[in-house]
Amino acid sequence: MPAESATAIPRPPARTAAPSAPVLTGAQAVVRSLELLGVTDVFGLPGGAILPVYDPLMDTSEIRHILVRHEQGAGHAAEGYASASGRVGVAIATSGPGATNLVTAIADAYMDSVPVVAITGQVFSNLMGTDAFQEADIVGITMPITKHSFLVKRAEDIPGAIAAAFEIAATGRPGPVLVDITKDAQQAEAPFQWPPRIDLPGYRPVTKAHGKQIQAAAQLIAQAKKPVLYVGGGVIRARAAAELRSLAEATGAPVVTTLMARGAFPDSHPQHLGMPGMHGTVPAVLALQESDLLIALGSRFDDRVTGKAALFAPDAQVVHVDIDPAEIGKIRAADVPIVGDLKEVLPDLEAAFRAAIAEATPDIAQWWSFLDGLRDEFPLGYAPTTDGLLAPQYVIQRIGELTGPEGVYAAGVGQHQMWAAQFIKYERPNAWLNSGGAGTMGYSVPAAMGAKVAEPDRVVWAIDGDGCFQMTNQELATCAINNIPIKVAIINNSSLGMVRQWQTLFYDGRYSHTDLNTGHDTIRIPDFVKLAEAYGCLAIRVERAEDVDAAIQTALETNDRPVVIDFVVSADAMVWPMVPQGVSNSYIQYARDHSPAFEREM
């Protein structure tokens, strides 16, 4: 089922009188609560403090538990599951190191607004605070990186805590929630009451925007000569892609989609200028910089988009729409702040705009003439390699072209992430998964695994670097054993590519500790083909451009096991364009006007 039509987690049914509540252990209550919430898949790894939950998990026929090889993999898999489907992802771990191994994935989900519920075991409540075996204050550890963290010490409180966790994770600005349950609470018995009463004082996400703010925003859009729709990942989380397209076509304004918003607006649409930011397209970067009105939709003015914030879009007024009021005004003051759910706000804004232009249609032809000139002058491209090795951009472009827009693409972090964002064409939301805010190496393989579990009928690619791949490749064993046939493309430049690029540009080519020795010499450590075969995968190495398509086609035709392709690419390839960190986005304009090499670098 296409992700845009996926439904949110079902709410508990209305309370009805029951003759008597069944008595369950806390552990049984965990499993039964998940069943009643519609959960069908969880990712986890057992240990002593969570072991009571694993016993009834063996009996359920409604929930598929996927045994990961590392808890970080469970967390990223839950993220991939949620990001591809729109449903809440679930990860389970034991206490101590099991729980702390989830922290990176929880932080990642928090930064990128991914709805995940992490359920962890905790030591017996009478041992808490004594430095008991495998004790860690995971509630305290995760407090800054979750929407909320629950500590449950009584069996009767388990259904309410889990139901509340799902409610918090899936509503408002989505995000991760932790439920930490002591072992004695799991072992004790209590009447199982469902649906539980969810009492969340102070948690009241605003979804409907104020009418006066909508009217004010519509007036600004109607009067703007150089408007831009600055679209962030909030549009995807709100399932508001259709509403965005309708508003864009009504206003005629150019659209830019951030790294987290790729696919929120079709790349093929004539109003789409591409991705803005440090590695954005020239038209997208300069559209923001030269605009007189930014309509920021579910975007947070991240530093990788704005460059030096004080110099970002200096002549632009700002309409900022976000469901999280904390984001509005955090980086850039908003002339019209609108708090609300984009799925509800965008139709209201479109209606108000149409009313505002009933007597005079805005003329932005001159603005489009400028932008179309940039598109003609600076199409996205890349230079051929000079060392005889593959161009990574070509490899990634062919993966996208041969797979098509219905595929799912989960990227690691680094150069390959940027190339995947640039050179694959995204036509639908939830097709592009990546670690945007946290920049977590190791995200790709387990996230692709989770996405494939959520969307089994789609082709799912993990586009990874040789550095990222070595952090979580053990989850290939999970994929092979559980019949999760993801495709993995290792963009193997034998180095930590993005760090190496910065060393080339800003450190005089002093490549301090970035050579990974994975692909360019006769000794490959590790040999990714042998490694993948050891994990039960079909493994292919590609070193010539003429072999790229055949390898991709083989991967697309193989669905009985995971496929790993080791693409040996040039270490000298760079991600262009590039706005250096800490400078104004006007740097692009300066480079365009003053650098003879700029066009070649494009």
If we measure between CA atoms, which residue out of 581, 597, 240, 263 comes closest to residue 425?
263
Band of pLDDT at residue 443, cut at 50, 70 and 90: very high
Domain count, the chain: 3
Is 599 part of any domain?
A: no
Written as one letter, the residue type at 327 is E
Checking if the pLDDT of 14 tops 70, the result is no
Catalytic site residue from 133, 366, 533, 581: 133
With 60 as the cut, is the pLDDT of residue 4 above it? no
Active-site position among 260, 449, 498, 574: 498
Q: Would residue 464 count as lying in a domain? A: yes
**498 in catalytic set:** yes
CA pair distance 105, 316, nearest whole angstrom:
36
Per-residue model confidence (pLDDT) at position 265:
98
Of 267, 233, 231, 272, the closest CA to residue 249 belongs to 272
DSSP string, 459-522: -EEEEEEHHHHHHHTTHHHHHHHTT---EEEEEE-SB-HHHHHHHHHHSTT--TT-B--SSSSS
Distances (CA, A) of 309 to 298, 332, 583: 18, 8, 9
One domain for residues 70 and 165 = yes
Q: Give 99-158 pLDDT, tens digit per residue.
A: 999 999 999 999 999 999 999 999 999 999 999 999 999 999 999 999 999 999 999 999
- Nearest to residue 396, comparing CAs of 430, 431, 427, 424? 424
525, exposed or middle or buried, with CB in 10 Å at 0-12, 13-18, 19+? exposed
Lowest-confidence segment of 124-133, 304-313, 456-465, 552-561 by average pLDDT: 304-313
Mean pLDDT (whole number) for 579-583: 75
Q: Which of 4, 124, 128, 134 is catalytic?
A: 134
Across the range 511-520, mean pLDDT stands at 86
Looking at the fold, whether 252 and 398 belong to one and the same domain comes out as no
Query: If you average pLDDT over residues 356-374, what whole number do you get?
Result: 94
CA–CA separation, 219 vs 413, rounded Å?
A: 40
Q: Are residues 155 and 225 in the same domain?
A: no
Q: Does one domain contain both 230 and 316?
A: yes
The DSSP output letter for 598 is H
Band the pLDDT of 517: cuts 50, 70, 90. Answer: confident
d(CA 547, CA 543): 8
Task: Verify that 445 and 489 share a domain, yes or no.
Answer: yes
SS3 content of the chain, % helix, strand, coil (to 5): 40, 15, 40
Radius of gyration over every alpha carbon of the chain, rounded to an integer in angstroms = 25
- How buried is residue 8: exposed, middle or buried, by Cβ count under 10 Å (0-12/13-18/19+)? middle
Given a cut of 90, is residue 438 above it in pLDDT?
yes
Same domain, 15 and 103: yes
489 vs 502: CA distance, rounded Å = 24
pLDDT tens by residue, 161-172: 999 999 999 999
User: Is the same domain home to 414 and 552?
Assistant: yes
CA 299 to chain centre: 14
| Angle at 477 (CA atoms; ends 87, 535), nearest 5 degrees | 145
pLDDT at 361: 85
8 Å CB contact between 237 and 169: no
| Whole-angstrom distance, CA of residue 512 vs CA of residue 555 | 35
Reported as a single tens digit per residue, the pLDDT across 311-341 is: 999 999 999 999 999 999 999 999 999 999 9
Over the chain, what is the mean pLDDT? 93
User: What tokens were used for 145?
Assistant: 């990186």
Range name among 77-86, 197-206, 421-430, 447-456 with the lowest pLDDT average: 197-206
- The DSSP call for residue 168 is H
Q: Is 134 a catalytic residue?
A: yes
Q: Which residues fall within 8 angstroms of residue 414, CB to CB, at 6 or more apart?
A: 441, 465, 467, 468, 496, 497, 498, 499
User: In three state form, how does the secondary structure of 245-292 look?
Assistant: HHHHHHHCCCEEECHHHCCCCCCCCCCEEECCCCCCCHHHHHHHHHCC
Query: Global pTM?
Result: 0.93
SS3 state at 542: strand
Mean pLDDT, residues 440-446: 98
Q: So what's the pLDDT on residue 7?
A: 36
Contacts of 405 (CB under 8 A, 6+ apart): 425, 426, 427, 428, 431
Do residues 316 and 420 both lie within one domain?
no
440 part of a folded domain: yes
Mean pLDDT of 228-235: 98
Instruction: Say what the pLDDT of residue 88 is.
Output: 98
Report d(CA 83, CA 429) in Å as an integer: 10
**Domain harbouring 451, CATH code:** 3.40.50.970
| 422 catalytic residue (yes or no) | no
Given this model, what pLDDT does residue 599 score? 41
> If we measure between CA atoms, which residue out of 84, 398, 461, 437 comes closest to residue 277?
437
d(CA 3, CA 12): 22
pLDDT at residue 589, rounded to an integer = 61
Contact 258, 305 (CB under 8 A): yes
Measured CA to CA, the distance from residue 38 to residue 8 in angstroms comes to 10
In a domain, 48, yes or no: yes
Query: In the beta sheet, which residues pair with residue 180?
Result: 120, 151
Arithmetic mean of pLDDT, 220-238: 98
What is the extent of the structural domain holding 151? 3-191
What's the CA gap between 208 and 21, in Å, rounded? 38
347 with 470, same domain: the answer is no
Task: Give 14-46 as a 3 state SS string.
Answer: CCCCCCCCCEEEHHHHHHHHHHHCCCCEEEECC
Provide the pLDDT for residue 191. Answer: 98
Given 377, 401, 431, the domain boundary residue is: 377
**Same-domain pairing of 369 and 287:** yes
Strand order in the sheet with 89-93: 64-67, 41-44, 89-93, 116-122, 176-182, 148-152
Tell me which of 28, 43, 71, 213 is the catalytic residue.
71
- Write down the catalytic residue from 147, 183, 343, 487: 183
Domain boundary among 377, 412, 434: 377
Q: What is the pLDDT of residue 600?
A: 40
Q: How confident is the model at residue 588 (pLDDT cuts 50, 70, 90)?
A: low
Is 122 part of any domain?
yes
Structure tokens at 95: 């206490």
Identify whether 201 is part of a domain: no
Q: Are residues 277 and 420 in the same domain?
A: no
- Is the separation of the CB atoms in 303 and 332 below 8 Å? no
In a domain, 196, yes or no: no
Regarding whether 461 and 361 lie in a shared domain, the answer is no
Among 328, 351, 377, identify where a domain stops.
377
CATH code for the domain of 217: 3.40.50.1220
Residue 584 falls within a domain, yes or no? no
Other Cβ atoms less than 10 A from the Cβ of 157: the count is 19
CA distance readout (Å), 242 to 247, 259, 449, 602: 9, 19, 27, 32
CA distances from 140 to 145, 149, 150, 275, 489 (A): 10, 8, 10, 37, 38
